Amino acid sequence: MPATEGLGEGTLDQVVVIPFNETTIAKRRLEENKDDLAAVIIEPMLGSVGMLPATSEFLSMLREFTADNGIILIFDEVISYRASSGGCQEYYGITPDMTSLGKIIGGGFSIGAFGGKKSIMDLYDPSQTGGPRVAHAGTFNANPVTMLAGAATLDELTPAVYQELAEKTDYLKSEILKVGKELEIPIQVTGIGSLFGIHFTGEELVGYRDIAAEDAAFRHKVFLGMLNEGILMASNLVGAVSTELGITEMDAFTAALRRVLERALAQAN
């Protein structure tokens, strides 16, 4: 902490940071601060960190602890909602009090949304006498083009389509792992559903600090190598399989990755 420049020195005075996937330590820290906590917000799968899923044990602890102590549990599913037709909360079978969503629900169009329990969302109800208790105004609220894109996305991305995406991604993951095994390079591929992240390490991946300990220079070399092969990934080597990608494209991806890694090995020797 912090993860980016520009955060004020007082930022950490307003939050309690708990370690991801470390259930015992996280619960102890929550217990120590429970009287000061309004909410617990978490990505059930760390997206920008590298598609690192939470354990069921960790999320179940958060759900139980927040419910027992009157604390709002918020799932940030801006990225992870692509994990299944109902996001990670459907995948894990754990329902938060509130959820934040992003462009996934708009088919890639610019959109943000949040929702939750009626008792919370009633605070935003404009039909109340005197107006909503909590104002929610926005220049692009209810943008008609985005709403149409969202409706079309809901029609197209059925549970069956999500299942097909997950199966294709499982194939891609297995092929990536095969490349690593054949070249004797430690590779792990994390993620849920159509989301995946490639990690060049043999160490156990539990949370952010494990990802931060990876060889950033080597990861960047792979990113640039894939770019030279005509494949643009995020610089942290995460990706998402779309409905338009088939076995041919995924085989081309792994073939390109193999060439990139072979060149990296040759340079190292």
**What's the confidence (pLDDT) of residue 13?**
85
Buried b or exposed e, range 2-11, using 16+ CB within 10 angstroms: eeeeeeeeee
Tens-place pLDDT, residues 150-188 = 999 999 999 999 999 999 999 999 999 999 999 999 999
Exposure on the CB side of residue 182, measured as CA atoms within 13 A = 13
Q: In the predicted model, what is the mean pLDDT of residues 50-66?
A: 98
Taking the model in full, what pTM does it have?
Answer: 0.92
Q: What is the third-level CATH fold of 159-268?
A: Aspartate Aminotransferase, domain 1 (3.90.1150)
DSSP structural state of residue 38? S
H/E element, 100: strand 98-101
Tens-place pLDDT, residues 222-253 = 999 999 999 999 999 999 999 999 999 999 99
**What's the confidence (pLDDT) of residue 1?**
57
Please give the CATH number for the structural domain made up of 11-156. 3.40.640.10
Gyration radius from the chain CA atoms: 21
- What does the domain layout of the chain look like in residue ranges? 11-156, 159-268
More confident residue, 221 or 4: 221
